[in-house]
């Protein structure tokens, strides 16, 4: 499969860090790297960051505007959001929609992600038109960063992070450290920069259950935004800037969607059994039970739960789990199925 070269056309100068005041204070002792499946936000001490957060608690709309302006200064097109994470300005065409849909050519506000801007006067104008906005969105796919958001969900039994790790091992691509935003529901958003010439489409669950993609025409909720379910926050030790999207992951993101209702060939499970076994055998400490449970759930969905139970148990024992622990985890996945 062809690889895509993305470095041409990328900005060479790093933008300022717009979330410096949202970063947790660094601990005084030597830092340790938290496992990716157990994100932590370091408690803050009496720092300037705490002062910034104090204003966010007392005046969320003002804090959202401040944070949106900093993001815009760093080159991220932004727009105001409501507590329900929707664009805060209503469409001027409601009741008499335009055909084709207007994307802002009329000059008025209220076109959702198409209003997103890096111009500070435009940003202030948008927030003035929506004083109730307590968050901000960052438009994906727009220059200069061509942002791509990987939304890893944990709702309804999904495990987007484990699913992404499985894809990375199955297709042999790295998962470089990148800007990571923790969501109130326990999920996370990974930010990557993409190529200017290859737009990434939005999708829900197309890569795998629990993985949604925000690309051209989509947006990400910015860190510091307050929603009805809580606040979006930066993960501890998150990098200052998004990493370039890995080539193979970009290929998966831009591949044509599979035909609807496609059935696997007779005798071939939808989730490769050998890949599931390898995924469990490669489990590091801190991920062993999570990977085993995820793989056992996929085996159940493929109709191979009983057939693969012994091989999954053996693979889990290879990582250091006891056979009793492994069987209990596999039984739990079977009950969920």
Confidence band (pLDDT; 50, 70, 90) for 26?
low
The residue among 288 and 179 whose pLDDT is bigger is 179
Q: 215 pLDDT exceeds 50?
A: yes
- CA–CA separation, 150 and 78 (whole Å): 18
Q: What is the pLDDT of residues 142-171, one digit of tens each?
A: 999 999 999 998 876 678 898 899 899 888
Work out the pLDDT band at 271, boundaries 50, 70, 90: low
Residue 144: asked if its preceding bond is cis (omega within 30°), the reply is yes
Alpha-carbon torsion angle 190, 196, 199, 203, nearest 10: 10
| Angle at CA of residue 125, ends 221 and 192, nearest 5° | 25
**Model-wide pTM > 0.85:** no
- Do strands 230-231 and 226-227 pair parallel, antiparallel, or not at all (unpaired)? antiparallel
């Amino acid at each position: 499969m062809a690889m895509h070269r993305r470095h041409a056309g990328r900005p060479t100068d790093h933008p300022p860090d717009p979330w410096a005041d949202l970063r947790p204070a660094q601990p005084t002792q030597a830092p340790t790297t938290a496992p990716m499946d157990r994100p932590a936000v370091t408690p803050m001490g009496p720092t300037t960051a705490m002062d910034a957060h104090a204003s966010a608690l007392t005046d969320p709309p003002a804090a959202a505007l401040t944070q949106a302006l900093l993001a815009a200064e760093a080159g991220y097109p932004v727009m105001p959001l409501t507590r329900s994470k929707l664009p805060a300005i209503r469409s001027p065409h409601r009741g008499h929609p335009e055909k084709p849909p207007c994307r802002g050519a009329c000059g008025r506000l209220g076109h959702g992600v198409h209003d997103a801007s890096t111009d500070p006067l435009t940003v202030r104008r948008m927030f003035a038109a929506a004083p109730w906005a307590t968050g901000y969105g960052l438009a994906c796919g727009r220059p200069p960063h061509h942002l791509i958001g990987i939304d890893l969900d944990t709702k309804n039994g999904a495990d987007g992070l484990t699913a992404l790790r499985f894809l990375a091992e199955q297709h042999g691509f790295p998962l470089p450290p990148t800007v990571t935003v923790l969501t109130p529901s326990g999920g996370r958003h990974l930010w990557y920069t993409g190529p200017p010439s290859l737009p990434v489409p939005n999708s829900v669950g197309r890569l795998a259950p629990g993985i949604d993609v925000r690309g051209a025409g989509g947006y990400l909720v910015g860190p510091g935004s307050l929603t009805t379910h809580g606040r979006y926050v930066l993960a501890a030790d998150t990098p200052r800037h998004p990493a370039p999207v890995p080539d193979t992951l970009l290929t998966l993101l831009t591949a044509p969607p599979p035909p609807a209702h496609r059935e696997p060939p007779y005798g071939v499970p939808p989730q490769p059994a050998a890949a599931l076994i390898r995924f469990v055998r490669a489990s590091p400490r801190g991920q062993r039970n999570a990977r085993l449970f995820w793989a056992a759930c996929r085996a159940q969905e493929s109709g191979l739960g009983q057939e693969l139970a012994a091989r999954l148990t053996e693979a889990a024992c290879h990582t250091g789990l006891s056979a009793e622990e492994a069987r209990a985890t596999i039984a739990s996945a079977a009950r969920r199925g």
